[in-house]
């Protein structure tokens, strides 16, 4: 009898333990998940940092700043690395949730199409120095920064040439057209005299070139708005021109107007 009683007690205890385990397992799982996320975040900040004594440090902060807020790229004559906390980056993630990961893995070519972009490819799959673990950690870090500011209101951009030059840098125009606006012959047109005439050196002449010239002659600001917003559909019958589209979700109206004001000051000679 005593053995039976002991058996019942043991079985009951095991049953209670099993019930307790399953009832509390989600809490333990959440704790483990939270701990893993915190560890990944700490690792990502280590990778992002500049530390010559730490082989895990990739030095992203060299260009983007210690806090990821952007800044001048060393040795690149005024080119600014983008702010990784910006709502515009969050907008790109809404279109493509893998955007940050792709840019880190394959470099600035993802942003601008420029294979000579100063933003390098970091993934070992294309000869870069970072492992999958490092890239995933950086992706989580930068994505978190951007999404935390997805609904933040951006301060209005003044319609001045100086503000427009900042937009030229931050929007990535500089990646193709270069800091001196000289472009890359045969690939990206020069904008150094775009205040007087349409940029020269287009690699492929758009089918709507005559309309482009007419629009520019009538109102340069209207031409630039149509070209920057969607050159493919506005001036080339839906065939890509090589100039990426900048809808309002990625370039606000005040940013666009400031950019145009800056471009119209570019008058060589």
Q: pLDDT tens across 49-67, in order?
A: 999 899 889 999 998 988 9
Rounded distance between C-alpha atoms, residue 255 and residue 140, angstroms: 28
Burial of 260 by CB count in 10 Å (0-12 exposed, 13-18 middle, 19+ buried)? buried
The pLDDT of residue 110 = 85
Give the bridge partners for 72, in sequence order: 80
pLDDT tops 90 at residue 11: no
pLDDT tops 60 at residue 254: yes
pTM of the model: 0.62
Give residue-wise pLDDT tens across range 143-179: 999 999 887 766 788 999 999 998 888 787 887 888 8
Rounded distance between C-alpha atoms, residue 14 and residue 18, angstroms: 6
The pLDDT of residue 99 = 94
pLDDT tops 80 at residue 267: yes
> 188 and 177 in contact (C-beta within 8 Å)?
yes
pLDDT band (50, 70, 90) for residue 116: confident
* Rama region for 181: left / alpha / beta (φ>0; ψ in -120 to 50; rest): left
Give residue-wise pLDDT tens across range 61-115: 998 988 998 877 888 766 778 889 888 788 889 889 999 999 999 998 888 777 7
- Mapping DSSP to helix (H, G, I), strand (E, B) and coil, where does residue 142 land? helix
């Amino acid at each position: 009898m005593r053995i039976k009683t002991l058996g019942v007690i043991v079985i009951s205890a095991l049953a209670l333990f099993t019930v307790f385990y399953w009832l509390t397992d989600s809490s333990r799982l959440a704790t483990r998940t939270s701990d893993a996320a915190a560890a990944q975040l700490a690792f990502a900040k280590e990778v992002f940092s500049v530390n010559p004594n730490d082989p895990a440090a990739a030095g992203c902060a060299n260009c983007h700043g210690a806090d990821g807020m952007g800044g001048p790229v060393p040795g690149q004559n005024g080119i600014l690395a983008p702010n990784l906390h910006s709502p515009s980056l969050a907008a790109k993630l809404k279109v493509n949730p893998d955007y940050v990961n792709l840019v880190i893995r394959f470099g600035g070519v993802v942003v601008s199409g420029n294979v000579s972009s100063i933003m390098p490819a970091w993934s070992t799959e294309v000869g870069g120095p970072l492992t999958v673990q490092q890239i995933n950690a950086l992706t989580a870090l930068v994505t978190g920064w951007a999404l935390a500011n997805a609904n933040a209101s951006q301060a209005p951009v003044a319609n001045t040439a100086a503000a427009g030059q900042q937009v030229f840098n931050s929007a990535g125009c500089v990646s193709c057209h270069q800091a001196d606006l000289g472009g890359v012959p045969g690939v990206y047109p020069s904008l150094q005299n775009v205040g007087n005439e349409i940029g020269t050196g287009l690699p492929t002449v758009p089918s709507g070139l005559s309309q482009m010239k007419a629009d520019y002659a009538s109102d340069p600001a209207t031409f630039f708005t149509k070209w920057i917003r969607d050159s493919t559909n506005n001036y080339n019958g839906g065939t890509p021109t090589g100039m990426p589209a900048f809808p309002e979700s990625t370039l606000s109206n005040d940013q666009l107007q400031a950019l145009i004001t800056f471009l119209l000051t570019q008058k060589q000679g």
